[in-house]
């Protein structure tokens, strides 16, 4: 049998020199790279390759966190503001709903929310602004006048204020008038084109108006929700010609049957939800993998970041639950930013 010769591994002396040179070269290149990166900020330059996960992430990365504002907790602070802050000092007496992870005016990354209170006999000064606004009446009765049309409002009504329209609010009743402000203010943190103009007089001249494209009473909304078949129904607020209320934020209302729940949903949109009536809870699974459960009752408000999986549950076996929500659907659709 032929014997095989043993395999002998031979390393040329030059190999060790090459390895040593490579190590030294790596160290040298590292030093050069460090100096190179350190030189960029002074030139207002930054390497994208160090921030690819931020710029092109594998999943949406909203800065906003889910958060809930219990009305039972917020109302005492709002009433205190109504006592301490004069109408002429506040202009608009509002407690902003500030997301815990982003500074004002963010309630979500794209939507601002606030609780506004108008005392009996008050009428904050008329003004107009670039921002688009929706307002949902929570407590009391009052009015909003837009471009000379004075519309009476009660709990559950929704009023919209288009861009650059003169408007003011007032309370001619005997109880505080409270509503949820919803505006597209966070968008102006990137497009710095927002501003306001005050009217020359306290009130903009107006006359009573029974119907308007800007006013959406609750009763027809609830009637539509109750007419829909199924345990969960959605009503989307539209103009008379079937368009979204604005190009930046949209509105919807939802019904959940007693003891039932909605299907789980996940979209690129963010939401501010408000419980018009009922009791229940909502589960929120964020893109970062966190899970939140919010127990809500009538008049509570909570924020839902983009790309969160959400599901609503009605905790009552007898009564239906109704939720109102503002979303950024029109903004995402108009710019083509929605996940297919």
pLDDT of residue 69: 98
SS3 308: coil
pLDDT of 158 over the 60 cut: yes
Mean pLDDT of 75-83: 97
Give me the chain's average pLDDT, please: 92
More confident of the two residues 203 and 156: 156
Is pLDDT at 218 greater than 80 in this prediction? yes
Share of the chain above pLDDT 70, in %: 92
- The predicted-structure confidence for 172-183, as pLDDT tens digits, reads as follows 999 999 999 999
Residue 87's pLDDT is: 81
Compare 28 and 83 and report the one with higher pLDDT.
83
Q: Residue range 319-324: average pLDDT? A: 98
* Cα separation, 173 vs 195, whole angstroms: 31
Q: Which residues contact 182 (CB under 8 A, 6 or more apart)?
A: 111, 112, 113, 133, 134, 135, 136, 249, 251, 272, 326
Instruction: Give 311's strand partners.
Output: 283
Report the chain's terminal Cα–Cα distance, integer Å. 71
Please check whether residue 125 is in contact with residue 210, taking contact to mean a CB–CB distance below 8 angstroms. Answer: no
Q: Given the DSSP bridges, would you call strands 215-216 and 158-161 parallel, antiparallel or unpaired?
A: antiparallel
* Tens of pLDDT, residues 3-62: 455 554 444 444 554 455 556 667 767 788 889 999 999 999 999 998 988 888 999 999
Q: Which residue has the higher pLDDT, 211 or 284?
A: 284
pLDDT of residue 2: 47
- Nearest-CA neighbor of 131 among 181, 207, 168, 185? 185
* Residue 69 vs residues 18, 46, 271, 294: alpha-carbon distances, Å: 66, 40, 14, 10
pLDDT value of position 90: 74
CA dist 3 and 60 (Å) reads: 66
Mean pLDDT within 92-96: 95
pLDDT of residue 14: 47
Entry pTM: 0.89
At residue 21, the pLDDT reads 52
Would you list the domain boundaries of the chain? 67-335
Compute the distance between CA of residue 180 and CA of residue 202 in angstroms, rounded to an integer.
23
Q: From 3.40.50.2000, 2.60.120.10, 1.10.3720.10, 3.30.70.3270, which CATH number describes the 67-335 domain? A: 2.60.120.10
């Amino acid at each position: 049998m032929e014997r095989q010769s043993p395999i002998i591994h031979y390393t040329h002396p030059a190999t060790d020199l090459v390895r040593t040179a490579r190590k030294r070269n790596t160290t040298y290149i590292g030093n050069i790279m460090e100096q190179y990166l350190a030189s960029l900020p002074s030139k207002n330059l930054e390497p994208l390759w160090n921030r690819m996960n931020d710029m092109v992430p594998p999943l949406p990365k909203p800065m906003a966190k889910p958060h809930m504002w219990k009305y039972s907790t917020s109302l005492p602070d709002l009433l205190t503001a109504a006592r301490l802050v004069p109408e002429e000092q506040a202009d608009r007496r509002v407690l902003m709903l500030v997301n815990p992870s982003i500074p004002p005016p963010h309630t979500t990354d794209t939507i601002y929310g606030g609780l506004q209170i108008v005392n009996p006999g008050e009428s904050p000064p008329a003004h107009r602004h670039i921002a688009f606004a929706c307002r949902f009446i929570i407590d009391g009765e009052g009015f909003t006048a837009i471009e000379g049309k004075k519309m009476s409002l009660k709990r559950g009504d929704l009023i919209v204020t288009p861009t650059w329209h003169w408007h003011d609010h007032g309370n001619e009743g005997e109880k505080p008038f409270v509503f949820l402000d919803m505006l597209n203010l966070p968008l102006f943190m990137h497009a710095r084109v927002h501003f306001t103009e005050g009217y020359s007089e306290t009130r903009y001249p107006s006359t009573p108006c029974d119907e308007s494209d800007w006013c959406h009473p609750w009763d027809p909304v609830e009637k539509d929700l109750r007419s829909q078949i199924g345990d969960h129904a959605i009503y989307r607020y539209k103009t008379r010609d079937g368009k979204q209320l604005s190009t930046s934020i949209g509105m919807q209302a939802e019904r959940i049957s007693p003891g039932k729940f909605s299907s789980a949903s996940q979209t690129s949109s963010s939401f501010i939800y408000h419980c018009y009536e009922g009791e229940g809870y909502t589960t929120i699974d964020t893109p970062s993998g966190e899970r939140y459960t919010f127990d809500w009752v009538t008049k509570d408000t909570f924020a839902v970041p983009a790309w969160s999986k959400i599901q609503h549950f009605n905790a009552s076996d007898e009564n239906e639950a109704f939720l109102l929500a503002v979303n950024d659907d029109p903004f995402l659709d108009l710019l083509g930013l929605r996940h297919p």
